[in-house]
Structure 1
Amino acid sequence: MEEVLDREYEVEYGGRKYRLKPVKAWVLQPPGKPGVVIALFKLPDGKTIRKVIMKLPPS
C-alpha cells in the first residue's frame, strides 16, 4: 500500500483536473469478489474527496 500513497494520481473534480498524492488509501474487497482501492485526496481549496484508484482481481 506504500507505493499507492507515494504516487501522484490525476483527480477530476468540478471540471478541473489536479495531480495529487493520496492522503489515505484502503482496500474494499468482499470475499470472492473483485475489489477496489479507494483513496482520499485533499484539494488545494481544502476539500477532501474520495476516488477509486485501482481495481483488484477476485480473491
Structure 2
Amino acid sequence: MGFFNNLGRKVEEFKRDVDSAKADEATHQCTACDHLYFAAREECDECGRDAVVER
C-alpha cells in the first residue's frame, strides 16, 4: 500500500500546482462564485450569472 499512498500524495500535489498555475494565468473571474476564465465571457458557466469581469 505504500506505493499507492505515495502516488496519491504526488497526484494531489500536482493538482494543487496546476490549480495555482491556472489562477496565475486567468484573465477573467466571476465575482459571484470566483470561477476563473482565460477569456471574456457574457456569463459564468458555473453559476449562470453575468458577473464575469477582467482581473
Same fold (TM over 0.5): no
Higher helix residue share: 2
Task: Give the shorter-chain TM-score range.
Answer: under 0.3
Higher strand residue share: 1
